[in-house]
Amino acid sequence: MYALRERGRALEDKFAYDQSFQFRAEARRNKLMGLWAASLLGVADADGYVQDLVSFTLDDKTLHDIATKLRHDFDAAGIAVTDEQLQAKMHDLLIEVVKEMQTA
């Protein structure tokens, strides 16, 4: 019985760790997306733009919501970035962040 309880506790701990890791990775990815978008948009206050994007993502926004916001910003500025490029950049940055976090 003790082994079963220990196994259950270990699974709960792993789940909590995985959720925390995912949250931190996505937050870091969103920050890097903001910096990338700010550089393309030529935003003078890149840190402010990143802060706005990060604040936007804290309200349980999905990846689609973030892409839609960025798409709107790019369209308003006349920047030609396709949806495929935007999705690929988000995917690539998440992979990069996860690799960095795993090696740190």
pLDDT of residue 47 exceeding 90, the answer is yes
How many Cα neighbours within 13 Å face the side chain of 33? 31
pLDDT digits (tens, 9 = 90+) for 48-68: 999 998 888 887 778 888 899
CA angle (73 as vertex; 71, 57 as ends), nearest 5: 75
Provide the pLDDT for residue 102. Answer: 92
Phi, psi of 21 (to 5 degrees): -60, -45
Task: Give 19-42 pLDDT, tens digit per residue.
Answer: 999 999 999 999 999 999 999 999
Instruction: Please give the model's pTM, rounded to 2 decimal places.
Output: 0.85
